[in-house]
Amino acid sequence: MISYDDKTTPLPLRGPDGKPLTRRQLRELEREMERARLREEESHGMPGAAPAALKSLSAAAEPPAVTGAQRAIGAALGRPRPKGRVAVVLAVLIVAAIVLVPVVVSRMGHGDEVAEAATEQAIAADAPIETVVEVAGRVGSVPVVSLLSPLAPATAVTTDTLITGEGRALSEGDAVLLSVSTFSGTSGANTTGTSSGVRVYRGTVDQTALGEVLADTVTGVTEGSRLVLRAPVSGQDGAVATEITVVDVLPTTASGQERAPVDGMPTVTFSADGTVALSVEGLSAPTRAAASVLVAGAGRQIDSGDVIIARYAFVNWSDSELRTSSYGATTVPGTINMSDTMAGIAQQLVDSTVGSRIVLALPADQAAGDDALAVVIDILAVAAGDSLTDATAAPTTQGPEDKGVVRVTPGPETGLRSAVGPPAGREEQ
């Protein structure tokens, strides 16, 4: 046992073995020094107090070890410190609360910030087109639209020209063929409402037939162009949002690589107004169907079940009389249902491409049955499924409930029929 005569002497930090003293060893050392002091006082004439103090000091039990968890729990509950498993469980719960509650609160606040940020990210509907949307795909195909940023509700119509075509410029009263798709200005989703995601309009450039907005938009535009409109639209909940409309102004005559006429086939000539003449002079009536490509288009191939939009003209072989024609700058193109038309046409047009001009020589049994025919056809587009619409309804007619909404596109028309029907004796479907 180590004794110290000077009670002010600091406690040693190491024991006789040279190792650092533990807290328990230090407390034992303090008590030993206190006993020594009391004995010294007793030897100097204080016999009563010193033995009592020594007895009290000796009887004092070593206080139990207190863990950090016990201290925290005792302080939190204002109760005696728990021990054992209870202390461990309570410690875990308190630590979880200390850690998780701030995280939850922080995330709740962050959610509000995200909502506010999403609102702040919506940009003006008339912002520069390059900051709003990217449109991919060739003219006449279903466009692929990538919305770069959600758009705030539009208050007017904004029009941009993405592609300038090389065809004729459209004037009021001209025939027009449009491929139109609409998209949400909030999500970028295709909202056209057809299975193909596109709607094909055929009509004339006229506000009554095509609608004020669409007619004004395409007037002066060249065929082959792609336009993008941003306009206000009313949602199902009545709220006004922005609708993006992609308008492809399709050619209304064949467009592609010209080829030289083939000897022995009908001759085709065009007038300045777009009308056509077919001549079979000097040619014998055909005994089997034949076809010659005058313009090779670069569009999709025609299938046997397609409905195509086309210009066409038929001339009787026997008397050179023009039987029917849909050519002319102000004449609306017709339709041909490949599954319900003359056998010669159905056979000769399969695998031809959109944009082509083809001249046909059809014997009577491959035509209408009463005479051999000379035929010329410009294949302009394919009307897939429910995509074909005659533009005959004014879409901008507004009532008080419209609240400034501008309708860009006409509504769909049903019951369209093929203009180039089956042979004589068959009912047109």
pLDDT at 12: 60
Give the CA distances from residue 195 to residues 35, 261, 315, 422, in Å, rounded to whole numbers and listed in that order. Answer: 100, 39, 37, 27
Contacts of 162 (CB under 8 A, 6+ apart): 129, 135, 226, 227, 228
Structural domain includes residue 33: yes
Distance spanning both ends of the chain, measured CA to CA: 120
- pLDDT for residue 190: 94
Alpha helices in 256-357 (DSSP H): 343-349
Task: Please tell me whether residues 88 and 33 are part of one structural domain.
Answer: no
For residues 282 and 327, membership in a common domain is answered with yes
The residue ranges of DSSP E strands in 280-353, in sequence order, are: 290-296, 307-316, 322-325, 334-337
Residues 57 and 110 in one domain: no
Q: Which residue has the tokens 């050179």?
A: 320
Query: For residue 425, is it within any domain?
Result: no
At 250, the amino acid letter reads L
pTM: 0.66
State residue 400's pLDDT score. Answer: 41
pLDDT tens track, the chain, 429 positions: 444 444 444 556 666 666 666 777 777 777 777 777 777 766 665 555 555 554 554 545 444 544 444 444 444 445 555 556 655 555 556 556 565 555 544 555 444 443 444 444 789 999 999 999 999 999 999 999 999 999 999 999 999 999 999 999 999 999 999 999 999 999 999 999 888 899 999 889 998 878 888 899 999 999 999 999 999 988 777 789 999 999 999 999 999 999 999 999 999 999 999 999 999 999 999 999 999 999 999 999 999 999 999 999 999 999 999 999 999 999 999 999 999 999 999 999 999 999 999 999 999 999 989 999 999 999 999 987 676 776 443 333 334 444 445 556 655 443 333 334 444 333 333
Q: If residue 201 lies in a helix (H) or strand (E), which one and from where to where? A: strand 199-204
- The per-residue pLDDT for range 76-122, each reduced to its tens digit, is 445 555 556 655 555 556 556 565 555 544 555 444 443 444 444 78
DSSP of 121-172: H-B-TTS-GGGTEEEES-TTSPPEEEESS-BPPPSS-EEEEEE--SSPBP-T
* Pick from 232, 252, 264: nearest CA to 176: 252
Q: Are residues 299 and 361 in the same domain?
A: yes
Note whether 102 and 196 are same-domain residues: no
| Domain, as residue range, for 25 | 1-63
How many structural domains does the chain have? 4
Chain segment 138-150, per-residue pLDDT in tens: 999 999 999 999 9
187 and 267 part of one domain: no
Distances (CA, A) of 426 to 315, 342, 421, 422: 20, 10, 9, 6
Q: What is the pLDDT of residue 36?
A: 74
User: Within 13 Å, how many C-alpha atoms sit on residue 272's CB side?
Assistant: 0
DSSP string, 73-103: HHHHHTSPPP-HHHHHHHHHHHHHHHHHHHH
Residue 403: inside a domain, yes or no? no
* The residue count for the chain: 429
